[in-house]
Structure 1
Amino acid sequence: MTLALDDNIYNQLLTKFQPKIIENEEEYEQVRHLLLNLISKQDRLPEETAMVKLMATIIKDFDAKQPQPEPASPQEVLLHLMSANNRKQADLVGKIGSKGVVSEIVNGKRSISKAQGKILGEIFNVYPGVFI
């Protein structure tokens, strides 16, 4: 069931917040701040809920237009996790292969197999699919 909005209250909110298409990060942060304030409000009026939906839509639109980073390669994921967890190549020797195999994987000369991905997932406590 949709509640009817009070035009006067909704117009006051529109005047106060003046929603518009977000053009840059500064405007994004302003709208985000206003949205968070409205979301955290206890007994929100139906008009304020409508404003929350409008602001969320505006933010989603801005987010959708932002460039997305290229997905990391399995090797890049491995290198990042090794660095973040203070692991060395030697820590992987015997777990995913010989010293030579580990070196080739770390240097991008060899792909990570499903079995190796599963082991790496267990070692780093991540989904094994990120290595394949």
Structure 2
Amino acid sequence: MSALIEQVAAHWEFVSPLLRKPRSEEDYDRLVAALDELLELVGEEEAHPLMSLVDIIGEWVEAWDHQHRPMPKATGVEALRYLMREHGLSQSDLPGIGAQSVVSEILSGKRQLNLRQIRWLAERFGVSVETFI
């Protein structure tokens, strides 16, 4: 047996709870708590020896989230409302869409965003055009 495997075998009972994909909410919660602790320890140091463990656990947590907690799809108008709130914008702050009345009609669902407006919004907010489609 190699020295590395001997070391792993000697410490396995202590590290094995962190090196198992989540199979239940309890497993998931344990991994999230461990990830939080690891991130505090590692900080911004990309070369930290535990960064590979952060990557592994982070991927497992992300996969669990995608499978068990999918994000609901937002409409383009919902995305626009959110971005306006986040940036503290009023309807008149979006001249690339049109006059304030046009923005109002879009936000109320009376009018659809057109391709020109979608492109302008994507550039304005630095997001993909798919955000508004």
TM-score class normalised by the smaller sequence: 0.5 to 0.7
Distance 1:105 1:62, change over 3 A: same
The 5 Å alignment of 1:1-132 reads: 6-19=4-17, 20-22=20-22, 23-24=24-25, 25-33=28-36, 40-41=48-49, 55=57, 58-59=60-61, 61-92=63-94, 94-132=95-133
Judge conservation of contact 1:31–1:59 (CA < 8 Å) in 2: no
Code of the aligned partner of 2:11: L
Amino acid at match of 2:35: R
Runs of 5+ unmatched residues, structure 1: 43-48
Q: May I ask how many residue pairs the two structures share in their alignment?
A: 122
Fraction of identical pairs, as percent: 25
Cα 1:21–1:108 change in 2 (3 A) is same
Q: 2: distance between equivalents of 1:131 and 1:62?
A: 27
Could you list the structure 1 runs, at least 4 aligned residues long, displaced by more than 4 angstroms after superposition.
33-39, 51-58
Q: Which of structures 1 and 2 has the bigger CA Rg?
A: 1
C-alpha spacing 1:14/1:109, structure 2 compared with 1 (3 Å): farther
How does the TM-score come out when normalised to structure 2?
A: 0.67
Normalised to the residue count of structure 1, the TM-score between the two structures is: 0.68
Provide the C-alpha distance between the structure 2 equivalents of 1:32 and 1:83, rounded to a whole number of angstroms.
Answer: 31
Two-structure CA RMSD over aligned residues (Å)? 3.3
Secondary structure of residue in 2 paired with 1:96 = coil
